[in-house]
Structure 1
Amino acid sequence: MKKIFMLLFFLLMFGPQFAHASGNQLIIINKASNELAFYEKGELVKTFPVGTGRTEGLTPEGTFPIVNKIKNRPYYTGGIPGGDPKNPLGNRWLGLEVLGTYGTTYAIHGNNNPDSIGKYVSAGCVRMHNEDIRWLFDRVELYTKVSIVNSKKSFDEIAKANGYQLKPPVKVLVSGKELKLDVNPVIENNRVLIPMRTIFDELGAAVQWEHTSKTIVATKNNQSIKLKIHSTQATKNGQFITLDTAPTIRQNTTFVPVRFVSEALGVEVKWDSNKRIVYLGK
């Protein structure tokens, strides 16, 4: 009887509102790589590392809507109040309607252990760094679909399989000739990022990858640039420069901001937002 009452309450309160979900947004969580992708207006906006279930079946797979957004949710099991630094839920909670739990059991939330992110550690929820979940919390709409998968496919392939309408991929033309890319460029913060190896090879730059510090060093003639993954601080010939968008790694591919690296190495860059084409002139 209690379950029937809860179901009726849920349908009464939330059911009519599902029809008003915009469909402009989609979240994909891939347990294979422990990454979350946020799509909006037909393109991949940002990806984040996440922590998922400590065993394969704990984080359920399927497509589930976000049915509540809660700030400073208490951790009832441990009697820890919301907002407490010891709260394992962090300070943001995006509740998912999974198996009749109405957003009370499964969620995307923050954490009190940053070292757990990227690992298989949870009892079923999806953990994010606190600064990442705050970014997502402020942007994602209620009733946005969340697709949880365990897949070797790209995020775009998974999005298409969910019926999400993607914008055409960004093209790169070098001296009028289209550059062949194994992985499509991405747009983040209105800046185009392109696979690292492809752009540096095309520009004739030697590149080094320092795994421990996740630092990229590229040199061409007398020019040298250094970038660090997830950092907006870069250098050109030892001079510090602040980037609009940091280099990132998405599904084992390293992306760098095409305008900065090209201009820093002496190549002119133009961007046609209507045609979604980057023009590089050697």
Structure 2
Amino acid sequence: MLLRKTAFALGILGMSFSLLVMPTEAAQNEAIIINKSNNQLAFYENGTLQKVFPVATGRTRSLTPEGKFSLVNKVKNRPWYKENIPGGDPRNPLGARWLGIKVPGDWGHTSGNLYGVHGTNDPASIGTYASSGCIRMYNKDVIWLYDRADKNIPVYITSSSSSFTTLAQNYGVGKAKKVVAEYETFNETLRYGSKGESVKILQRKLDISVDGSFGKQTLSAVKKFQKSKGLIADGVVGPKTRKALFSH
């Protein structure tokens, strides 16, 4: 009887633990990554890049904070309290949607009231450095994001020359491994239509989206690489192209 009770208690404990860790794992399959260096926002869902949007960020680099944060509130047509402009008013600079980011030290006790991803009444500012710290989007884009992004997902803000693919790998979005591509190799010849792990290695070497399928994007990147190395730009990754890829 004692052993049965102990086993039952351990089972309940195990279930409780799994319930605690599952949201964290799920959160890493969904994420927002904002790169201030090119003023773009990427949304990942189910570990896969869904869309990339142009945004506006802070007038100076320090205004928009960098780091890992959380999406903690979502508001439709949030009022502009500073000027007492109601939500939905064409004069409201917050636009159609507000996605509040938990940033330590804000006036709302990290409640997502100070920094956020939001719409705008100034669409001409998108793509520029124009805000007081928030991330502005076109209203149609922020509505799309609002409808898909769940609360408590991670929001990464950086200034980087890396691609979103590389950033996602570094952040572990979608449980992607942190890959040191220089140490990965393959020996087969790859061409348009090839699939598999070797194609993924190729795509990581070319710093493009990694899906394991040699399609138009990969073909274009291979030809561009071949031209840069003085090779015949036929899009076929044979011995000479492999040697150029993996030479240091």
Identical aligned residues as a percent: 46
Say which SS state the counterpart of residue 77 (structure 1) adopts. helix
Greater CA deviation, 36-45 or 117-126? 36-45
Query: How many residues are treated as equivalent by the alignment?
Result: 180
Letter in 1 for 2:167: I
- Show structure 2 runs of 5+ residues with no match: 1-19, 180-189, 225-248
Give, in angstroms, the shift of residue 108 of structure 1: 0.2
- Show structure 1 runs of 5+ residues with no match: 1-16, 203-282
1:98 paired residue number: 103
1:48 paired residue number: 53
Give, in angstroms, the shift of residue 52 of structure 1: 0.1
1:195 paired residue number: 217
| Contact persistence 1:44–1:186 (CA under 8 A) | no
| Contact persistence 1:50–1:128 (CA under 8 A) | yes
TM-score scaled to structure 2, two decimals? Answer: 0.64
2: distance between equivalents of 1:193 and 1:58? 40
1: distance between equivalents of 2:170 and 2:194? 33
| Contact persistence 1:184–1:194 (CA under 8 A) | no
Structure exhibiting the larger radius of gyration computed from Cα positions: 2
| Contact persistence 1:18–1:143 (CA under 8 A) | no
Larger strand percent: 1
| Contact persistence 1:51–1:117 (CA under 8 A) | yes
2:68 paired residue number: 63
1:74 paired residue number: 79
2:5 paired residue number: none
Q: Which has the higher contact order (CA 8 A, sep 6+)?
A: 2
Give, in angstroms, the shift of residue 157 of structure 1: 1.6
Give, in angstroms, the shift of residue 173 of structure 1: 4.2
Give, in angstroms, the shift of residue 159 of structure 1: 1.5
Larger helix percent: 2
Alignment equivalent of 1:39, drawn from 37, 44, 49: 44
Are 2:202 and 1:184 equivalent residues in the alignment? no
1:166 paired residue number: 176
Alignment equivalent of 2:145, drawn from 136, 140, 153: 136
| Contact persistence 2:163–2:208 (CA under 8 A) | no
Give, in angstroms, the shift of residue 183 of structure 1: 4.3
Runs of 4+ displaced beyond 2 Å: 17-22, 172-187, 192-197, 199-202
